[in-house]
Amino acid sequence: MLAVNQRRPAVGSFAGLEQQRVAPLFGMAFAMAVAATWAAFGQLGAVRIAEWFIAFSMCLLAQQKLKDVESFSTMFLNYDLLARRWMPYAYLYPFAEGIAGFVMAAGALRWLSIKSDRKPDDGHVNAGRIPGQQES
């Protein structure tokens, strides 16, 4: 029973329904990142899990936004300055987020997304080899 001065979060507010929808999404993204890391490398690496967690989260969040692009773009206009100046950005954002997540998960276009001092064959990137394959 609620006291008179306490208020329930509004339905659809982040504190209420939205938080309940997003928490399982992040849990699933983490589980996917752990499974993908294990499948690809046969071991668990914290850096790779973190990278794939972010990439998978971006893809899953983009999917949620793409379910109703119209209402997302309307809501997005309330807090994004670029979307206020150029309205098509509000419609393009979910697609761009999904593509960025996909590219990040694939490890492609690293020159565009990050500056790394690592060499492709240092174990960070698979360097075109099948996991467990011996060098000849």
Tokens of 103: 């590219």
Buried/exposed 94-116: b ≥16 CB within 10 Å, e otherwise = beebbebbebbbebeeeeeeeee
Look-up of token digits 């899990």 = 49
Mean pLDDT rounded to a whole number for the chain = 75
For residue 62, give Cα distances in angstroms to 6, 45, 47, 90, 134.
Answer: 34, 26, 23, 12, 38
70 contacts: CB under 8 Å, gap ≥ 6: none
The domain locations on the chain are: 24-113
The answer to whether 66 and 98 are in contact (CB under 8 A) is yes
- Selection from 53-57, 74-78, 92-96 with the highest mean pLDDT: 53-57
pLDDT at position 114 is 59
How do residues 59-76 score in pLDDT, each as one tens digit?
999 998 888 888 888 888
- Model-level pTM? 0.65
How do residues 1-48 score in pLDDT, each as one tens digit?
445 555 554 544 444 445 567 888 899 999 999 999 998 888 888 888
Distance CA 66, CA 59 (A): 10
